[in-house]
Structure 1
Amino acid sequence: MPDDPHADTAQLLELLSVSLGVYYSDFAAASASQNLTASQSKALVVLRRGPIAMRALAETLACDASNVTGIIDRLAKRGLVRRETSATDRRVTNVVITAEGERVTDAVRANMCVTRDGLNSLCDRDRDSLYALLNRVFLVRPE
């Protein structure tokens, strides 16, 4: 690191890349422990926020609508999600997570040992700071 003690954007990007690689590997392994692909688990995580139209789910997952159909078909076959016709537009199919889907999603999160151990090593103040920073960087956008 140069004499300047502040991390520059390139250093932050590198650390984020490494961190996300560790997170993704942990997520994929935890998903596999529940006989899910990472894409299936990611869909369940999105559905925890509430019902969503198939097309919007495809956009959120950044994949083709036909891929989402296959993902949802496999999740529905296991009873982890169900399809419902939209109350406002009968042409739209929403996907809803089931209680079993929520249980499996919780199990995936519980099996993310590397990520959980890292986060649990933080004191409350550092955890609050990380939460605020991640919100500010990735979720809260100035208008």
Structure 2
Amino acid sequence: MPHRPDEVSQRVIALFAAINRRYAHESESAAAGHGLTPLQAKALQAALEPTPMRKVAEQLGAEPSNLTPVVDRLEARGLVERSPSPDDRRVKVVAATEEGRTVAADLRARMPFAADPLQALDPAQRAALGDLLQLIADTRP
């Protein structure tokens, strides 16, 4: 029979879920305000500086081939442009256009919680939380 978490653990798990829902709701709402999906909005944010498509995919936790249609849609909207890397022409670089940077700034303004969900914590609390979460992330089943 699986181990049932104690009351404190259940509370913490519920809080993780509530934070995730709040983050997702805010991100989805901000993206929808521009006719974007949350993934498109994240890709746009990742392309504020010229960035290789592979690196954008890594930042989003996506396969590079799955990112191509996302960038295609952003490019069709005039929010990003693709070009060959000056260092290696086989590598495609994606960069936000001026309009894309304007949209990205508005997205950030519409997502105060998602932009800094740890704002209520002081630096020592952030560090402690980071250490505790690292312990959880490093725990093997």
Change (3 A) 1:19 1:76: same
Structure 1 gaps of 5+ residues are 139-143
Show structure 1 runs of 4+ deviating over 6 A. none
Residue 141 of structure 1 aligns with which residue?
none
Counterparts of residues 110-121 of structure 1 (less than 5 Å): 110-112=109-111, 115=113
Q: TM-score, normalised by structure 1?
A: 0.70
Residue 44 of structure 1 aligns with which residue?
44
Residue 27 of structure 1 aligns with which residue?
27
Helix, strand or coil at the partner of 2:93: strand
For residues 27 and 88 of structure 2, the distance between their equivalents in structure 1, rounded to whole angstroms, comes to: 35
CA contact (8 A) 1:34 1:107 kept: no
For residues 69 and 98 of structure 2, the distance between their equivalents in structure 1, rounded to whole angstroms, comes to: 21
Range 50-59 or range 94-103, more displaced: 50-59
For residues 81 and 130 of structure 1, the distance between their equivalents in structure 2, rounded to whole angstroms, comes to: 38
Q: Deviations over 1:13-49 (max 9, x none)?
A: 542332021111111011001111101001112223x
Q: CA deviation at 1:134?
A: 8.9
Residue 93 of structure 1 aligns with which residue?
92
Q: Percent identity?
A: 33
Q: TM-score, normalised by structure 2?
A: 0.71
Residue 102 of structure 1 aligns with which residue?
101
State the superposition RMSD in angstroms. Answer: 3.2
For residues 103 and 34 of structure 1, the distance between their equivalents in structure 2, rounded to whole angstroms, comes to: 11
Residue 137 of structure 2 aligns with which residue?
none
Structure 2 gaps of 5+ residues are 1-5, 134-141
CA contact (8 A) 1:54 1:94 kept: yes
Change (3 A) 1:134 1:13: farther
